[in-house]
Structure 1
Amino acid sequence: MLYLRRTLLLWGILFSFFAKAQENTDNKYAEPLAQVLKNIETRYGVAIRYPDSLVKGKVLNYARWRFRPDVEETLNNVLAPFDLKVKKDGDKKYKIGDYEYYRWAVADGWAELDRIAAQYKNLSEWEARKKELKQCILEKLQLAKLPAWPISEPVTTPIRKYNGYTIENIALEILPGVWINGSLYKPATHKGKIPVILNPDGHWQQQRYRPDCQLRCAALAKMGAMAFSYDLFAWGESLLQFKPEDHRRSLAMTIQALGAIRILDYLLALKDADTTRVGITGGSGGGSHTELMTAIDDRIKVSAPVVSVSSYFYGGCPCESGMDIHSCGGGTDNVEIAAMAAPRPQLLVSDGGDWTDKMPEHDFPYLQKMYSWYGKKADLQNVHLPTEKHDFGINKRTAVYHFMARYLGLNIKAIEDKKGVIDESDITIEDEKKLYVFGDHGEKLPARAVKGFDNLEKVFEAAVK
């Protein structure tokens, strides 16, 4: 209680000091930011919402000199020194948050894409640009030279059989003591070689354990493909080795990419894998991962990033933008990276409830131009769902099913009802623990497993030397 009283007294003294001293240059017209925001509310008749922790202890120099007739210009002037940003939150209402380097104004994103596109005017110039970008991206990811793949057997579980498909959980060691975990869905019966489809997923709760993720992978298996659903780094079973906050470390982007490369290495070595028919599809952060992997791995022949690609959004998680790939080629963005898939077939699914809301207006026409240079404009598709939000719902899955069926030679009728409508009703949604590789409580995790991000960094550094 005494400490609290002293703290309140100190803040009272500071506020009193600033109130008396703000009228001259001796203290640079300094004012506590919280007081400045209250003054803005009074002067302009607005309400400003923010967590106290965002402004606590912050003092603004030349506060009164930053005011302008327009409230939004004033707020931008006041907040810029603290890397804070403001957005409208209703009539005469505003909300303050941290500056988001990865989220641009639409006009700014479009202008940047136009600047990027002006650097090449024909196919040969684009091919040179694409080669430069690919090499730079691999270098930024520290994967230009891949680390050695540990010689170890995959950890597997018994195969579970369902109506038209099977599931087997698999963990692959991608660095000494570091595993990537997932579930392999296959057709219950098949002859010869079948397509391979990677299924990374985004930052939704339950990630690959979610019903819609299980539905998608099982449906693709029923259609005749092997679909591998896997955890992103420090997510899902990866949490047996690392903490949730490690997912927001820049190296997460590299470990995820390395994991996908090793998954492909493993799957394409299977005797029933068709190496000429390889696809990848993921949503949100998994969509960013989808476009990245397609850009850097030519083994991927068909891609479908869902609710992710945008010229004015660079990926809000370090697992999407933590490594400096966007500085490549003097500056690139996710739409140009998506263009690196050309001329391979690509489906972009967008909606009206996130940063893909304007895909048909500017970004998609750019991509169409790039595909037209190869004479493959028809192999680029956009399914835009303007009334939908940021998810991987049935309409988005339906678009992916039809696209993969067309370009990977799958049997779409295997998941259609008599009226030709997609029917996922006979797919079993498993309990989350059934999808674990290392047991209900992680008890089967090998004793030599690396634990903690600091130890991961050491292992990675040793592997890439």
Structure 2
Amino acid sequence: MKRIFLTILGIFLLSGGFAQDRQTADSAFVRPLLDVLMDIEKQFDITIKYDKKMIDGKMLKYADWRIKPWSAEESLNAVLAPFDYKFVMDNGKYKIKEFEYARSNEAEGKKFLDYLETLYSDKAGWEKRKAELKSCLPKALHLSPLPAKPDSKVILTSKRKYDGYTVENFAIETLPGIYVTGSVYKPEKIKDKCPVMLNPNGHFGNGRYREDQQKRCAMQARMGIISASWDIFAWGESLLQFDGTLHRLSAANTIQTLNTLRVLDYLLSLKEADHTRVGITGGSGGGSMTMMIAAIDDRITLSIPVVMLSSYFVGGCPCESGMPAHLCGNRTNNAEIAAMFAPKPQLVLSDGKDWTNVVPELEYPFLKRTYAFYNAENNIENEHFPTEGHDYGLSKRKAMYRFVAKHFNLDLNKILDKYGEFDESKVTVEKESQMYVFGDKGEKLPVNAIKGKDALLKVLRDVGILDK
């Protein structure tokens, strides 16, 4: 009996008893995330900002083992990773945010570019990599094959005549019942074929109606270019069809790319269009579109991405990065996507107060390396504005005017004053209502125009952009 009792006791200790001891030991390492963050603040003498809703009730396993006494940053990375959180610096404080797949930091950007450089060291290797990306990008955007074009005509409003240029508003049905609206600017007098310039918009306030966007397009027209600007999805007149919250759908990434391609189709259908001189330039989210379209559409012959090119940021809005394009080729970034435009002329405009702040030292040398594969280093340029911020301001527009005139063989004197300075004073800045296609209250919206999220998703499924 004594032997049987000892055997049973041994089994108990090996199973329940020891298991309970292990459970107690494991539990000792579980602590509330809030307490851990407070300890880190005290230990490293730092301030951590966070939304209490993100922290309250969260429990962290192996909490104290994650704290690295030599580094607040390494500690925070280890502590936040199990919750898919990260930190960013905000005025000297550590701010906790949900994980952002679209953004990292300069150090990771440098590592990313160093890694990409190991994949190819000459033109042949690069061409193989480029072909892989060029095949993948449209598929990742769900635009391969492209959906069929609706069988409808471009809607045009009456022409307004100004000093050296004209303006018409247009609407293009890009998918059944879905319209993109914009304005086309043309030289006042057209004798020969004209270059074409796409001006995709970003998230700057007031969209395509803002003063600097109108000036940019009008000045291009005064130089002799057919220029176009249009609303991004679920902004501007697109709000007649879709609530602004739909702008942040991942599918907006696809719709905006398709809209850009459809606008380009329209411009190149004009009898005055010169298919050998086709440019694209946009700032911020418009810069994202500039790089993507330049990479995937061979019709583009000149590219000017503005305040957007970065190795560690691909656009925080789902309309820029909602589709997995940057997962192509086992991960790519906007610097490599911009490099796909080599050897054609490209001007990168960057500044000192956003994620383009290190372009001269980081991304620009990477681009020059790729252009060197084609002996075309003279076709890639960077103008950096270290004291300026995230905009498409006058200094950046001047750089764009010079680059376009140089490569499109245009006469800059058409937009200079008697002192040789760029003169935008002759541009008429229109009221927003003048730029509408569908009337002041949307009363001219086509009868087949769809409205709302459910109708949108149905169309996207019907044309194969979304799975049914």
TM-score normalized with structure 2 length: 0.90
Counterpart of 2:120 in structure 1 is 120
Q: CA deviation at 1:402?
A: 0.7
* Contact 1:290/1:304 (8 A) holds in 2: yes
Matched AA of 1:235: W
Aligned-residue offset at 1:25: 4.4
Q: Once the 2 structures are TM-superposed, how far is the Cα of residue 62 of structure 1 from its aligned partner?
A: 3.5
- Structure 2: distance between partners of 1:286 and 1:165: 23
CA deviation vs aligned residue, 1:312-331 (integer Å, no higher than 9, x gap): 11221212211111222222
1:449 aligned partner: 449
Per the TM alignment, residue 49 of structure 1 is displaced from its structure 2 partner at its CA by 2.0
CA contact (8 A) 1:186 1:221 kept: yes
Report the residue type matching 2:202 in the other structure.
G
1:9-57 Cα deviation digits (max 9, x unpaired):
xxxxxxxxxxxxxx95464644443343334334443322223333244
* 1:422-437 equivalent positions in 2, closer than 5 A: 422-437=422-437
Deviation larger for 335-344 or 426-435: 426-435
Single out whichever of 289-298 and 55-64 deviates more from structure 2. 55-64
Aligned to 2:121, the other structure's residue is in SS state: coil
Q: Which residue of 2 aligns with 1:222?
A: 222
Corresponding residue number in structure 2 for 1:269: 269
Correspondence 1:374 to 2:370: no
1:134-156 per-position Cα deviation (integer Å, ceiling 9, x unaligned): 11111111212111101112222
Q: How does 1:325-340 map to 2 (within 5 A)?
A: 325-340=325-340
**Quick one: distance in 1 between partners of 2:361 and 2:43?**
39
1:83 partner letter: D
Provide the alpha-carbon RMSD of the alignment: 1.9
Give the letter for the 1:451 counterpart: K
Could you tell me whether the CA contact under 8 Å between 1:28 and 1:61 is conserved in 2? no
2:121 and 2:82 mapped to 1: Cα distance?
A: 40
Partner of 1:152: 152
Once the 2 structures are TM-superposed, how far is the Cα of residue 340 of structure 1 from its aligned partner?
A: 1.0
The whole-number CA distance in structure 1 between the counterparts of 2:288 and 2:117 is: 20
Mean Cα deviation higher: 54-63 or 454-463: 54-63
Compared with structure 1, are the counterparts of its residues 122 and 259 closer, same or farther at alpha carbon in structure 2 (3 Å cutoff)? same
Relative to structure 1, is the Cα distance of residues 448 and 186 closer, same or farther in structure 2, using a 3 angstrom cutoff? same
Separation (CA, whole Å) in 1 of partners of 2:243 and 2:91: 37
Q: How far has the Cα of 1:195 moved from its partner?
A: 0.9
Give the Cα–Cα distance (whole angstroms) in 2 for the partners of residues 245 and 337 of structure 1. Answer: 28
**Residue equivalent to 1:183:** 183
Task: Identify if the C-alpha distance between structure 1 residues 169 and 57 changes in structure 2 by more than 3 Å, giving closer, same or farther.
Answer: farther
Classify 1:226/1:49 alpha carbon distance in 2 versus 1 (closer, same or farther; 3 Å): same
Greater displacement, 314-323 / 206-215: 314-323
- AA in 2 matched with 1:72: E
Distance in 2 between residues matched to 1:52 and 1:205, nearest whole Å: 31
Residue deviations 1:392-420 (CA, integer Å, cap 9, x gap): 11111111111111112222212111221
Query: What corresponds to 1:309 in structure 2?
Result: 309
Report percent identity of matched pairs: 52
Counterparts in 2 of 1:436 and 1:57: CA distance versus 1, 3 Å: farther
Counterpart in the other structure of 1:86: 87
Aligned to 2:201: 201
- Report if the CA contact (8 A) 1:116-1:331 is conserved: no
**Shift of residue 88 of structure 1?**
3.4
| Alignment correspondent of 1:5 | none
Matching residue of 1:12? none
Distance in 1, matches of 2:427 and 2:105, equals 42
1:88-113 CA-to-partner distances (Å, cap 9, x unmatched) read 3455x322222221112212212212
Task: Tell me the equivalent position of 1:297.
Answer: 297
- 1:278 is paired with a residue whose SS is strand
Give the direction of change, closer, same or farther, for the CA distance of 1:241–1:62 in structure 2 (3 Å limit): same
User: 1: CA distance between counterparts of 2:413 and 2:63?
Assistant: 66
8 Å CA contact retained: 1:335, 1:363: yes
Report the CA distance between 1:296 and its aligned residue. 0.7
Q: List gaps (5 residues or longer) in structure 1.
A: 1-22
Tell me if the contact between 1:146 and 1:464 (Cα under 8 Å) persists in the aligned partners. no
SS of the residue 2:228 aligns to? strand
Which residue number corresponds to residue 110 of structure 1? 110
Q: CA deviation at 1:464?
A: 3.4
Matching residue of 1:63? 63
What TM-score results when the alignment is normalised by the length of structure 1? 0.90
- Mapped partners of 1:98, 1:197: distance in 2: 38
The count of aligned residue pairs is 442
| Gap regions ≥5 residues in structure 2 | 1-22
Runs of 4+ deviating beyond 6 Å: none
The AA in structure 1 aligned to 2:393 is G
Partners of 2:126 and 2:199 lie apart in 1 by: 29
Q: Aligned partners of 1:89, 1:126: CA distance in 2, in Å? A: 38
SS in 2 for 1:94: strand
Please tell me the residue identity of whatever aligns with 1:297: D
- Match in the other structure for 1:258: 258
Specify the alignment match of 1:99 in structure 2.
99
